[in-house]
Amino acid sequence: MKKYIFPLLALGLMTACVEDEGNYNYKHLNVIEIEGIEESYAPLAYMDNVKISPVLSGSLAGTDLSNYEYQWHFCINTHASHVVISNEKDLDWHADIAPGVYSLYFTVKDRTTGLEKQQRTTLNVGSPFLRGFLVLGDDMETGQVRLDMLCMPQERDTAYAESVITDPIGLVGAREMVFSGYGSANEDDQFLWLLSDHYAHRLTFGETLSYIDEFNESGLVELEIPHQTPMQVRDVFPRQGTKNAINGTTQNRARTYRGLILDDAVVFCNVSSGGYGGAINRYSAVSNNYFKPYPKAFIQPTIPFNNSNLLNALVYDTDNQCFARMLGAYSTYMEKITDYYPGGTWNLEIGQDNRTMVYGENGLNLYNGDNPVYILAKDNDADNYYVMYFSGHYSYLTRRYYPTKSPLYAVDKAVAVDIDKASHYMFSSNRLVLLYSVGNRLYQYDYTRGTCISHEFDGDITYLESDYSSKCSIKEYFLATYNDATGKGMIYKMEVPDIANAGFSFLDGQQWETTLKVKDIEWKWPN
């Protein structure tokens, strides 16, 4: 074995004698440090700017930033893809992204060495669309329906956001919105109906607003009786804003039941069933004579409001000019509301007085559970107008509905000028006055005193309605105008003063410009 050891040692000595000619001239590299970036930021989507000013230092360059390149990008779907939003050191970026959680990266590159330094932070992007007023109208430039929003995040300034639907589909002819309410524990039962001239679309009602389906394609209602096609949703009952406000809430209280009013049918369902039953707008289970309903329901809740109180929902029969009520959650027909206490100057079955209801509205009562129903009626054979109202309750003991009626107020048309030409009506629950609009002029008619005042706006009045939902207020209402010459509109928040003949009251700081011809405004807030 020894004869093999010596050659190996010699080989080792020979290798050690080779000269090392490598270049070992080491240089110091510029190590970049990043400070001034917080762990997370919480902007509101589409409203806020994300502003970050990093503080940089280099181990060699110090505070000299002339040799750096920058990039800000955020990741979508974890790290699958990213979007570059800036190549400046200081970020000032408008958060035009959907609500969600994003990873935001800041990268600094040294041009000399190509070395990069990166720091990550989190964007918790909140939704500005949780609280505020949805504004539906016609975009006169495109000729299509547009949904905007007065965004009112808590402890933040109000901002007006245009085109808040994530996937607009080009509807034409805006009409109104109907929100089913927050009562159901299932978010899928919380529908916002967006109504146009010919269709009704369901929208999601959460952090974002997007289309679900069209009413006729949803399969919610299948009618065996002859009916108008496509079917149109006119109202959902109960709906937010129809409850009395004594406990300070505006939510839809019915967690189980919903009613729909269509052009020629009234249908009812348990929301967990996923569909509505047959039409119930008739007076016998075997009758084929279905009356045409007024496009709004009239809710007469008691305290506390629960599913059984839906039996106090009234529907107006426009064929027979009378009110009708449901007999039960699973009833197949309805019952006329009659005067169980005869007398007075008008009949609850308005048709028996040879009159027609021109306009009806569900009021709000702050003090007990009986909401008033306000009526503007007209003689069939004369040009006489009348105002009346009633409230009432259903007795489960006698199984009867007991109304309490107001006097009959004859409208003095010499005072209430052009009341027969009005485009919009609104009854006040704060005082016994009727507001109506003709062109660009708003009238306030006190039908108990026979007085009337008016106010002229810059544009034609396109919307007029009470706002019970946002504050449970019986004073406040919205009015919107549009000027065809300028292509601009205005939204006004106003209130009916407590004092008679006090004039019109515009709420401070609650006027907003818009390019929409506004048709409807709906409160949005899940609390």
For the stretch 434-445, pLDDT in tens is: 999 999 999 999
pTM: 0.83
Average pLDDT of span 82-107: 94
Q: How high is the pLDDT of residue 10?
A: 39
Average pLDDT of span 301-305: 44
Distance between CA atoms of 325 and 280, rounded to whole angstroms? 10
Residue type, 86: S
In the predicted model, what is the mean pLDDT of the chain? 85
Q: Is the pLDDT of residue 469 over 70?
A: yes
Q: How high is the pLDDT of residue 248?
A: 42
Q: In 10 A of CB 464, how many CB atoms?
A: 21
Q: How confident is the model at residue 4 (pLDDT cuts 50, 70, 90)?
A: very low
Q: How high is the pLDDT of residue 2?
A: 37
Residues contacting residue 238 through CB under 8 Å, at least 6 positions apart: 181, 252, 253, 254, 259, 297, 299, 301, 305, 310, 313
Burial call 102-129: b when 16+ CB within 10 Å, e when fewer? bebbbbbbbeeeeeebebebebebbbbb
Q: How confident is the model at residue 16 (pLDDT cuts 50, 70, 90)?
A: very low
- Higher-confidence position of 237 and 432: 432
Q: How confident is the model at residue 176 (pLDDT cuts 50, 70, 90)?
A: very high
Q: What percent of the chain has pLDDT over 90?
A: 53
| CB of 162 closer than 8 Å to CB of 171 | no
Which of 259, 249, 267 has its CA nearest to residue 305?
249
Q: Is the pLDDT of residue 184 over 90?
A: no
Q: How high is the pLDDT of residue 27?
A: 67
Q: How high is the pLDDT of residue 188?
A: 52
Q: Is the pLDDT of residue 391 over 90?
A: no
Distance between CA atoms of 285 and 160, rounded to whole angstroms? 50
Q: How high is the pLDDT of residue 23?
A: 53
Q: How high is the pLDDT of residue 369?
A: 61
Query: Structure tokens of 452?
Result: 């009337």
Residues contacting residue 155 through CB under 8 Å, at least 6 positions apart: none
* Residue 429, φ and ψ in degrees, nearest 5: -90, -5
- In the chain, where the domains are located: 32-125
32-125, what's its fold? Immunoglobulin-like (2.60.40)
Q: How confident is the model at residue 165 (pLDDT cuts 50, 70, 90)?
A: confident
Query: Structure tokens of 309?
Result: 């109180």
Average pLDDT of span 342-351: 84
Q: Is the pLDDT of residue 274 over 80?
A: no
Query: Which of the listed ranges 53-67, 173-187, 254-268, 409-423 does the model predict with the highest average pLDDT?
Result: 409-423
Distance between CA atoms of 104 and 41, rounded to whole angstroms? 10
Average pLDDT of span 317-328: 92
Q: How high is the pLDDT of residue 290?
A: 97
* Range in 40-49, 186-195, 241-250 with the lowest mean pLDDT: 241-250
Residues contacting residue 144 through CB under 8 Å, at least 6 positions apart: 138, 168, 170, 171, 172
Distance between CA atoms of 517 and 489, rounded to whole angstroms? 6
Q: How confident is the model at residue 182 (pLDDT cuts 50, 70, 90)?
A: low
Q: How high is the pLDDT of residue 366?
A: 65
Q: How high is the pLDDT of residue 32?
A: 93
Q: How high is the pLDDT of residue 11?
A: 38
Report the helix count and the strand count for the chain, using DSSP H and E. 2, 37
Average pLDDT of span 478-492: 98
328 φψ region: left (φ > 0), alpha (ψ -120 to 50), beta (else): left
- Higher-confidence position of 154 and 410: 410
Rg over CA atoms, the chain: 33
* Range in 193-202, 414-423, 490-499 with the lowest mean pLDDT: 193-202
Q: How high is the pLDDT of residue 350?
A: 95
